[in-house]
Amino acid sequence: MKNHMILLSVTLLLTASANVGYAHTDTTDHSHSTTEKHSEHQHTAKDSHGDHHAAVSEPTIKLSVHKIEDKGDKKRVQIKLEKIKDDKSISLDKLKEVHTQKVHLLIIDDTLGDYSHIHPKALKEPGLYEFEWDAKKQANYRIWADLHPLDTDAQEYVIADLVTGKEAKSEINKAVVLESTMDGYTFKLSFDSESLVIGKPALGKITITDKDGNPVKDLEPVMGAFAHIVGFFDDRQTVVHIHPMGEEPSKPTDRGGPELQFHIVAEKAGFIKLFAQVSIKGKELFVPFGIVVK
């Protein structure tokens, strides 16, 4: 299991750690490092063996796009999940719930500009799932399904192309972006080291202020965390998913902010488009950043 390293997310390792009193058990969609300190973490043994690549395994599931149809401004998409080995349908009962959901779909275009995080609903036919999706760009899109099959008991990312063949300009804007303003809130990203270097752990911090410059302390829980930070590498092959350190929400009325801290260890050089998904006053925001690993 731990020897089956996925090529996708091992190249960048992001961890959320040192979390005393960690409230939930399904924390496996962090890319864990060996420095885990979650006292209640169920994968401690796996995480503590000295291998940075333990948390994500090679895909055992394949994802295919079954149908895409227009539905008003949006698209209705059906996807199929099957076991690679024997083509058996992957229904919900074969998957573990992680961060309140069994199937997380991370969808992004090839410029890394239009990111969606979607939870499809299972259709009657086993292995078929459906979701509505709003493609904001004329571009090619790719899906990363973040899954945790019960039989392997390991997280895996399964990739499929959702839209292909678009001629549109698909260059990635590799500008470094450490400050992003959305909905009147300003999100500032910083690291404890001057530059991110391959293999060197760094501590990242996102500080949130409102339009008057006051600290924002009312981050609402989003799928069991105060933020979901997802990073897409400019190779379009690598995705990472982290959650902030510190107390996680245990009930809907819990609030977080104004700071989100996280650990990052990049094992590969390149540009990473990072999105912090947060919820403030009932509105979900996907806050973009751009960082470079040297």
Q: Which two tokens stand for residue 177?
A: 């972006």
Residue 80 as a binder of Cu ion (CB under 5 A): the answer is no
Sites for Cu ion among residues 164-223 (CB under 5 A)? none
Residue type, 118: I
Give the whole-angstrom CA distance, residue 214 versus residue 294.
34
Give the contacts of 183 (CB within 8 A, at least 6 positions apart): 280, 283, 285
CB of 213 to Cu ion, least distance (A): 32
Strands across the sheet containing 128-133: 61-71, 74-83, 128-133, 121-122
Pairing of strands 141-147, 104-109: antiparallel
Give the whole-angstrom CA distance, residue 243 versus residue 43.
16
CB of 76 to Cu ion, least distance (A): 19
- For Cu ion, the closer CB: 52 or 243: 243
Of residues 41, 146, 135, 134, the one with CA closest to residue 104: 146
- For Cu ion, the closer CB: 32 or 104: 104
Q: For the beta carbon of residue 200, count every other beta carbon within 10 angstroms.
A: 13
Pairing of strands 259-266, 239-242: unpaired
Per-residue buried b or exposed e for 89-98, using 16+ beta carbons within 10 Å of the residue's own CB: ebbeebbbeb
CB of 162 to Cu ion, least distance (A): 16
Task: Give me the helices (H) in 21-134, please.
Answer: 44-47
CB of 157 to Cu ion, least distance (A): 12
- For Cu ion, the closer CB: 55 or 202: 55
Sites for Cu ion among residues 227-256 (CB under 5 A)? none
CB of 241 to Cu ion, least distance (A): 9
CB of 117 to Cu ion, least distance (A): 5
CB of 145 to Cu ion, least distance (A): 10
- For Cu ion, the closer CB: 87 or 134: 134
- For Cu ion, the closer CB: 108 or 172: 108
Q: Select the residue whose beta carbon is closest to Cu ion and give its number.
A: 104
- For Cu ion, the closer CB: 98 or 293: 98
Q: For the window 92-131, what string marks contact with Cu ion as x by the rule CB under 5 A?
A: ---------x--x---------------------------
- For Cu ion, the closer CB: 107 or 196: 107
Question: Which residues sit at the interface with Cu ion, rule CB under 5 A?
Answer: 101, 104
